[in-house]
Chain A
Amino acid sequence: MKLRKLVFAVFGLLLLTTSGTSFYRSRHLEEAVVLSPGVSEVKKLGDYFEGIRGTVNDCNIYIMEGEEPGGTVFVMGGTHPEEPAARLAAWILAENAVMEAGRLIVVLSSNRSASLVTRVGGAYPPDFSIPTDWGERTFRLGDRWADPLDQWPDPEVYIHYPSGQFLAFVDIRNLNRTWPGRPDGSLTERTTHAFMELIRQEKVDLFIDLHEAELQYPVISTIVAHDRGEELAAFTSMMLSDMEFNMGMEYSPPSLHGLSHREVGDHSDAVSLLFEAPEPFLDATRGKTTREQLLTGKDEFVVKAGKAGLLFEKMDENGWPVDVRVGRHTSAVLMTMETWSELNPDRPLRCRGVPRYDEIIALGLGHWLHDPSAAPPERVEIE
C-alpha cells in the first residue's frame, strides 16, 4: 500500500511540476517593445500615483510628443489582455507612431496582472506568435481579470465605487469595471485610480479604450461614446463606414458603472470612447480552442450560430483574422484623430507612420513589428 501511495504521489508531483513550470513561464514571458522614433519619453504608471509603484500593474507609459503643439490623446491597450487585437493595435502605435501635432500617450498592458494568467476553464493557449518580416514575435495571451495571485480574495459581492452598484464578485479584478478607481482600494481599483491621475495630470483631451468582443455580444464593431464624445464618435463612425469598414456607434449608458466610456468622461475633462472589434475566440459556441483559432478567427461552430441568427456581427468561413481586427483598431484611432482635429482645430492631433486597415491586411501586422535584436538596447522596453 505504501508503494502504491508513493507511485501515486510521484505522478501527482510530476503533474504539479510540469503544470507549475508552464504557469511560471507564461507569467514571466517577456514581451519586447521597439520604441518608435516618435516616443519621446517612457514613464511608469507609478509616476502618477505612488500607490501603484512597484506593483505588478506599474506598467509602462509611452509618451509621444508632437512636432507641433495640439491636443493629447491617450490610447489604452490591454484592459482585457484576452482581446489581443486591442493590445497589438496599441503595440503598432508604440512601435511606429510619430506625432506631427499634439501628443499621443499609449499603454500596452493596462491590467498587466491580467496579461500574466490565462482563464481557468477557458483552455487558452498561454501565448501566441505573430510572423514578421524578420522572424516572429511572441505575446502573452492573458485573461479578462487580474491574476488572483496579485489580488485575492474576491468579495462576496463587488460593490462599485463610488456608484454603489452591485457587480459580479469576480469583476473587482476587471479593469473595465473598476473605473474611476480609488486610492486605497484593491489592486485593480488602484490601477484605474492611477490612470485617472495620469489623465488629469497629463491633461488628456481624448481617451480611447481598445477592446474585442464575442460575436454573440450585442456591443460589437462599434464605438461606445461618452455623452461629450457623441459628435466625435458619430462623425468617426460615419467616415469609417463610408471609407473603410462598417463601424457602429452607441451611447454609453449612464446607469452602467465602472466602465471606462462612462467613468473617465464623468470624472475627468477627457472625452472617453471605447472601440470594439469582433473576436470569435471569445464565443461560448467556439470549437477547438487553439492559437490558430485565436489568430484566424475562423470557426465552423460560430458560423452555425450565425446562421441561426444568434450573432450580432456577420460570420462566414473567412472568419475574423487578427490582421483585420488590428486594422480596424488602428484605422479607427487614426480616423478619430482626424475627426477630432476637424472638430477642435485649436488642439489638433496628427500622426504618421501608423498603418491603416487596408495596409495591415495587405502586408500583415507583423510588418510593423520591429526586430528588438536589431534596435539599440535603449530603444527597447519590456512589457
Chain B
Amino acid sequence: MTQIQTVVSFLYYLLVAYVVVLLVWNFVRSRKWDEEILYLIVLLPFLLRLFRLK
C-alpha cells in the first residue's frame, strides 16, 4: 500500500507539472498585461510544489 501511495503522490506531481505547462502556455499567448500578472501569481504555488520547496 505504501508503494501504491508513492505512485499516487508521483501522479500528483505529474498533474502539477501539466498545470504548470498549461499556465506557462497561456501566459505566453496572453495579450493582456493584467492577465499575464495573474498567470504568474497563480503559477507560483504550482512551481513551489513541483520543485518540492513548499
| Chain A positions near chain B (C-beta within 8 angstroms) | 1, 4-5, 8-9, 11-12, 15-16, 19-20, 23-24, 51, 117, 148-149, 152-153, 184-186, 190
Contact = CB atoms under 8 A, between A and B. Distances in A.
A24 B52 CA distance: 9
Interface of A is mostly: helix
A20 B9 contact: no
Interface in B21-44: 27-28, 31, 33, 36-37, 40, 43-44
B2 A51 contact: yes
Contact of B37 (A8, A20, A186): A8
Contacts of B54: 19-20, 23, 117, 149
A9 B40 contact: yes
B8 interface: yes
A5 B47 contact: no
19 contacts: A4-B33, A5-B28, A8-B33, A8-B36, A8-B40, A9-B40, A12-B40, A12-B43, A16-B44, A19-B48, A19-B54, A20-B48, A20-B53, A23-B53, A23-B54, A117-B54, A153-B9, A184-B2, A185-B1
By size class, the interface of chain B is: 20 to 34
6 shortest interchain CB distances as A-B pairs: A12-B40, A184-B1, A20-B53, A23-B54, A23-B53, A152-B9
A6 to B, nearest CB: 11
A152 B12 contact: yes
A158 B14 CA distance: 24
B1 A1 contact: no
A264 to B, nearest CB: 23
A172 B44 CA distance: 26
A5 B44 contact: no
Contacts of B9: 152-153
Contact of B36 (A4, A20, A186): A4
A20 B1 contact: no
B2 to A, nearest CB: 6
Interface in B3-22: 5, 8-9, 12
A23 B12 contact: no
A16 B54 CA distance: 11
A281 B8 CA distance: 36
Contact of A20 (B31, B33, B43, B51): B51
Given A4-B33, A5-B28, A23-B53, A12 B2 contact: no
A117 B48 CA distance: 13
B2 A5 contact: no
Contacts of B31: 1
A186 B5 contact: yes
Nearest to B2: A184
B26 to A, nearest CB: 12
A149 B12 CA distance: 11
A149 B44 CA distance: 16
Contacts of A1: 31
B8 A23 contact: no
A24 B48 CA distance: 10
Contacts of A148: 49
Contact of B12 (A51, A153, A186, A190): A153
Nearest to A26: B54
Nearest to A12: B40
